[in-house]
Chains A and B, each alone.
Chain A
């Protein structure tokens, strides 16, 4: 369990606790040779909840997503998966260069679901580029295709692994807005990994700070600010951002040996 130093009480914007979580991690560890990885992570994420994961580089944020996605096997602990369908937005768009944007989205769908590809592209503002190849798209547009692909299958759980980290400021801001307006709040459980604290506090109901080697959950903060109007929200988010940074710094100065 987290240290609790920065814990706040959940607000009514967090999903109801009575609802069965879509994914539950119980004491999950994944230790790599050299001591990196993750240790003893407990986490439950419910429908509609957006959980942010942040921390210093190399402390196991992406490993957490890979464990949940089944791309890594846990060394110990259990992962209970209660979702029907999983979507993931990768750090790189991971598009096939010989398929058009629409074909890349259709690739992950069953034949009967193919019309959803167009709808997903419209949702991320890329309908007009549906027939273009990845090489003909900008970095931001390629990442939008990756988001459309993740959403097209109507997932119960969406994993986002630093989806904006390779984009310039303008694209990052645009995509952040797009995700906030068109992806979140649709009843999908989201786990959003980023080293950018500002992104995390703007999007997530709950924030886990991971640190150490192997990584552990060092702090868990709730974010009631998402419920406030723009005036109050700004101050609350700035305050939360400082506390998340303090959690990361406090840990990284005192205990984290991560690069």
Chain B
């Protein structure tokens, strides 16, 4: 699908407008303390954004998400490549990855606070615990899908590890990883904000939880709206263009 079609096709916008319309209808039926009007929430968001604090919190959260995503990406790919060298290692790593994946966010959060204290550590660790297994699985799956003839060719012609990595492994992995990275970024985003609420001095999650504790319902909705908008921006400004770029590069595959 072309870039133009992604941006200007109407169904995504119709879906979003439908949600806003439902919100407006529901807001008229419910008290403001439960569901304020979207217009009021938008005004609140505007005033929040005009204050410097919210931008600082946004910066903290984005930093935490980027750090946890990059650590997951590097760690997951490195583990996947390492495990691919030996079926025994792969079998040994599998239950560890499943164990990491199976533990709920809150379990990781409590452990992270115990280990690292309050601050940047817990959100990043919780983000990594959720995103790394996705990247690792995608890497392992991608490597398993490489044609045996290609690996035989690489062995026979004694290709260097650098050539194997850059010409065979990474291009093969790129498409699988592009999908997994999209999921990993999304998971990191949610996990980091959740962890910030309970285990950080700053960030969007901490700010949101603070507003809730002080009973600032309109502010809570405004911040949720901001988090959702940022999530959409991440998806459509970063992940989708990145995936399209990779697909264009590998269009002949």
A pairs with B: yes
Q: CB distance B152 to A99 under 8 Å?
A: no
In the complex where A96-B150, A96-B171, A99-B167 touch, is A71 in contact with B156 (Cβ < 8 A)?
A: yes
Q: Count A-side interface residues using an 8 Å CB cutoff.
A: 22
Check: A6 CB closer than 8 A to any chain B CB.
no
Contacts of B150 in A (CB 8 A): 94, 96
Most buried by B among A70, A98, A149: A98
Within 8 A of A (CB), among B141-177: 147, 149-150, 152-153, 155-157, 159, 163, 167-168, 171
Kindly state the separation between the CA atoms of A131 and B167 in the bound complex, as whole angstroms.
Answer: 17
**Among the listed A86, A94, A96, A98, which residue makes an inter-chain contact with B152, where contact means beta carbons less than 8 Å apart?**
A94
Within 8 A of B (CB), among A65-119: 66, 69-71, 86, 88, 90-92, 94, 96-99, 107-108
Kindly state the separation between the CA atoms of A19 and B167 in the bound complex, as whole angstroms.
Answer: 39
Check: B249 CB closer than 8 A to any chain A CB.
yes
CB distance from A146 to the nearest CB of B (A): 9
Q: CB distance B168 to A94 under 8 Å?
A: no
Q: Please name the residue on chain B nearest to A110 by beta carbon.
A: B160
Contacts of A134 in B (CB 8 A): 252
Kindly state the separation between the CA atoms of A98 and B250 in the bound complex, as whole angstroms.
Answer: 6
In the complex where A94-B147, A134-B252 touch, is A70 in contact with B155 (Cβ < 8 A)?
A: yes
Q: CB distance B252 to A71 under 8 Å?
A: no
Check: A57 CB closer than 8 A to any chain B CB.
no
In the complex where A98-B171, A99-B167, A108-B159 touch, is A90 in contact with B153 (Cβ < 8 A)?
A: yes
Q: CB distance A71 to B152 under 8 Å?
A: yes
Q: CB distance B153 to A97 under 8 Å?
A: no
Q: Mark B27-46, 1 if CB is under 8 A from A, else 0.
A: 00000000000000000000
Check: B253 CB closer than 8 A to any chain A CB.
yes
Kindly state the separation between the CA atoms of A70 and B249 in the bound complex, as whole angstroms.
Answer: 34
Contacts of A20 in B (CB 8 A): none
Q: Please name the residue on chain A nearest to B163 by beta carbon.
A: A107
Q: CB distance A71 to B159 under 8 Å?
A: no
CB distance from A65 to the nearest CB of B (A): 10
Q: CB distance B252 to A69 under 8 Å?
A: no
Kindly state the separation between the CA atoms of A112 and B116 in the bound complex, as whole angstroms.
Answer: 52
Contacts of A227 in B (CB 8 A): none
Q: CB distance A153 to B157 under 8 Å?
A: yes
Most buried by A among B149, B157, B159: B157
In the complex where A90-B152, A90-B153, A96-B150 touch, is A107 in contact with B252 (Cβ < 8 A)?
A: no
Kindly state the separation between the CA atoms of A185 and B21 in the bound complex, as whole angstroms.
Answer: 79
CB distance from A71 to the nearest CB of B (A): 5
Q: CB distance A133 to B252 under 8 Å?
A: yes
Kindly state the separation between the CA atoms of A94 and B156 in the bound complex, as whole angstroms.
Answer: 12
Check: A136 CB closer than 8 A to any chain B CB.
yes
CB distance from A85 to the nearest CB of B (A): 9
Contacts of A136 in B (CB 8 A): 252
Contacts of B147 in A (CB 8 A): 94
**Among the listed A70, A88, A97, which residue makes an inter-chain contact with B253, where contact means beta carbons less than 8 Å apart?**
A97
Q: CB distance A94 to B153 under 8 Å?
A: yes
Footprint of A on B, CB under 8 Å? 147, 149-150, 152-153, 155-157, 159, 163, 167-168, 171, 249-250, 252-253
Q: List 12 A-B contacts (CB under 8 A).
A: A70-B156, A88-B153, A90-B149, A91-B149, A92-B149, A94-B149, A94-B150, A96-B168, A98-B249, A98-B253, A108-B157, A135-B253
Footprint of B on A, CB under 8 Å? 66, 69-71, 86, 88, 90-92, 94, 96-99, 107-108, 133-136, 149, 153
